Chain A
Amino acid sequence: MAKEFIKGNEAIVKAALLAGCRSYYGYPITPASEIAHAAAKYFPRVSRTFLQAESEIASIQMVYGASASGERTMTASSGPGISLKQEGLSYLAGSELPCVVVNIMRGGPGLGNISPAQGDYNQIVKGGGHGDYKVIVLAPNGAQEMCDLTMLAFDLADKWRNPVILLADGFIGQMMEPVEFPAPVGDLPAKPWALTGEKISRNNLINSIYLDNDELEAHVGHLAEKYARITEAEVRFEAYHADDAELVLVGYGIVSRIIRTVVDQAREAGLKVGLLRPITLFPFPTRKIGELCESAAGFLAVEMSTGQMVDDVRLAVNGRLPVHFFSRTGGNVPTVEEIFDVVRQHLSAAQPV
């Protein structure tokens, strides 16, 4: 298909429909509202359901109901709304219901502001709801990936019967770039566990309550085992000039775009700097970071938060090398120049000239 020049937020909607998503239940919030606007426009056009729910809480519960019916379904929001959805996400994970939830991160805490930020990492990646559960987290860094990772998200959600969160920021959501959309997916595999209102599904139960301690322990163990298999199977990352780098920059989302330019400029200046970009935040590219510990002299995590993803980098490095950190917050996006300055400081500290 021909390319379309399109906002990331809108690319999500077309990608969802091409992936066979049958319903969108949402609530307006800046900077994610374009997703709801585009969904309101396009879902009815292809005879699918769009409903603006009465609240963020209701919208995730509608997703729970739609997912229980076996259809592909989604919602989208931003920080304050995502906080309200956490109860529902815990139920979805506990009941092993697939769905796609988009978080276009903005500044927080509280009402914060509507500028791009990455302060929701811990909430999303570490599980913001109650109980022992994990969600698969994908971090697109441009409009094409808003499309590609949305489609992947639906596949992973069904494959693992688990919520998948697309974690982007206001910058990636607002930016327009060319997107090449794939063809619509064909028939999807049946979901024999779903509630369809037919005889065949009459004995089905969607449930997250296990009153008996041992039964719940078995269920939690089953989930943990599933998350371990996801960790084995679904790690995705992009390494750019990383394998011979002395300093490896780590960042996701919009930050990864900026540090890619930093890497280019550093290489032009003869500095051995590379980029590791996690595409999946859960599962995190822990093993790759471990491998880079063999060749690199240190890491620099760059985030638009006061330091959240950097903890996962530190866990992966496990004390073997220094892990530096640079951040901007409040809706400010770090510039190439300020990151480059930090890179120079750490390189000169490591190798006195």
Chain B
Amino acid sequence: MAKLILEKPKGFCDSYERKPGDHGTTHYCPGCGHGNIHKLLAEAVEDLGIQDRTIIISPVGCSVFVYYYFATGNIQVAHGRAPAVATALKRANPHAIVVSYQGDGDLAAIGGNNILQAANRGEHITVIFVNNAIYGMTGGQLAPTSLLGMKTATTPYGRDLLNEGPPMKVVELLSSLDGPTYLERQAIMGNKYIARARKALRNALQCQIDGKGFSMVEILSACPSGWKVDPTDSYAWMEKNMLPHFQLGVTKDVRAEREPFFRTFKTLSAAEIVEQLDLAVPEPKHFPSKLQKTGYGDPSIKLAGFGGQGILSAGAMLANAGMEQGLQTSWIPSYGPEMRGGTAYCFVNLSERPIGSPTVSHPDVLMAFNRPSLEKFEPDVKPGGLLMYDSTIIDVKPKRGDIEILAVPATQMADDLGNTRMANTIMVGVYVAHTGIMSPAAIEQTLPLAIKRKNLVDANKKALRAGVDFAATL
């Protein structure tokens, strides 16, 4: 009976059905290092018992078709972006073993920042970085790892230190970061070297299995086609040209120091989600109101002053309370070119009907908190509208005769209450009491939503009442 002594690693597909044409061979050139590296990975996936959990990322480059060969989960990604894709795949599936397989153009050139940042975040992924010092797939162009003097399709006179700079040493670069756990460089250059690469690759995968963080193996690999070297001479070429620049060995290994970490997620109930999203709020109380005259209804209100006077929050007080009283409301801060010049303003609409345009050229109500706002916006108020202004700090009088004008010494009143920054709340109090658009109790109910500093809520309630009392004197 025949005895099986050698078989294809189970990490490989039996037949490469995804590959067009012949399903029994690879698409790689004679002498290419990818085949050996694939085999090391396929064997490791089988031996480490992680085949069902493994997701391998096919990059752009000669290894774009990694997914032809591996009997694992597979995903093909954009040029250089494998570490970003791997980041999210792993975070979504902490149980998966995510392997980013990348070449030197993909990883070190176009994807340079992605590998740097993923390594620095200590993503729990394993990167296999195949360094053959050249772009293979696109026809033998310069890579960041191409050697000085090396002639490529885009360095026909040789890589020039003063033009392209020196070849990039990637594992050394990443080793300077605190994030990664395990970094090693090995080579596919004959059996002795392959055995070391095999061990390095398994260490890197085990690092991920053990929850120890980011691991990467840079593997020097032959590209006889790109180098224009006979495959039988390629190992000698590597020995002579690559090894002097790219030293083999471990450049970083802090596995022993790292505590295992496995990301977990909680499943929240619907009620917990609502609670956590701050949506579990009690039904508001309704407070009856009575408009003093119909002209005060459905107002569009412009509030304007200096930044820091609480203009935006005064607007939010009105809109928030209006919503709770069943009105349609909108609030929009000064936005766009009109932000220039230090004037802050916002628009508030309170309406019984759906609100169309949230801003209008001619507001029904203007609350002016400083002189530039009064001078700039007074002409815009709709005829028959209402202008309220802080008469403490505005030392000129409005000019219009066709609108109702209320001078409110809001800043003086706020100072009397001990906090000059409550002039905004006072003005709101005067407005709601004078017009009857809402009950002051409605404003009071939602004050905590507009006042960020909780210790000031009670003081603002006093300010609101001061405004209401002032309105009664008008």
Contacts and interface: CB of A to CB of B under 8 A. Distances in A.
Contacts of B272: 46
A230 interface: no
A69 B93 contact: yes
B265 A18 contact: no
Interface string A169-200: 01100111110010110100000000111110
A331 B337 contact: yes
A47 B265 contact: yes
29 contacts: A2-B279, A2-B282, A3-B324, A17-B273, A17-B277, A25-B88, A46-B272, A47-B267, A54-B113, A61-B78, A61-B81, A61-B84, A62-B88, A63-B88, A64-B85, A65-B77, A65-B92, A69-B92, A88-B81, A95-B76, A175-B330, A178-B328, A184-B274, A195-B93, A201-B73, A205-B18, A261-B357, A332-B336, A337-B361
Nearest to A254: B358
Given A4-B279, A115-B335, A178-B323, A202 B358 contact: no
A177 B267 CA distance: 30
B186 interface: no
Nearest to B360: A336
Given A17-B273, A197-B53, 4 more contacts: A5-B323, A64-B77, A66-B89, A69-B92
A333 B287 CA distance: 36
B361 A335 contact: yes
B89 A65 contact: yes
Interface string B358-401: 11110000000000000000000000000000000000000000
A57 interface: yes
Contacts of B86: 65
B332 A260 contact: no
B361 A1 contact: no
Contacts of B277: 14, 17-18, 42, 45-46, 181
A58 interface: yes
Contact of B78 (A23, A88, A115, A332): A88
B75 A198 contact: no
Given A66-B88, A205-B18, A257-B357, A58 B81 contact: yes
Interface in B50-105: 51-55, 58, 64, 67, 71-78, 81, 84-89, 91-93, 95-98
Interface string A110-145: 000101100000000000000000000000001000
Interface residues of B, number: 76
What secondary structure prevails in chain A residues at the interface with B?
A: mixed
B117 interface: yes
A25 B323 CA distance: 33
Interface string A1-40: 1111100000000100110001101000001000000000
Contacts of A113: 336-337
Contact of A174 (B273, B323, B332): B332
Interface residues of A, number: 86
Nearest to B266: A47
A208 interface: yes
B319 interface: yes
Contacts of A205: 18, 67, 73-76
B360 A116 contact: no
Given A184-B274, A207-B76, A23 B88 contact: yes
Interface string A314-331: 000000000000000011
B309 interface: no
A68 B85 contact: yes
A347 interface: no
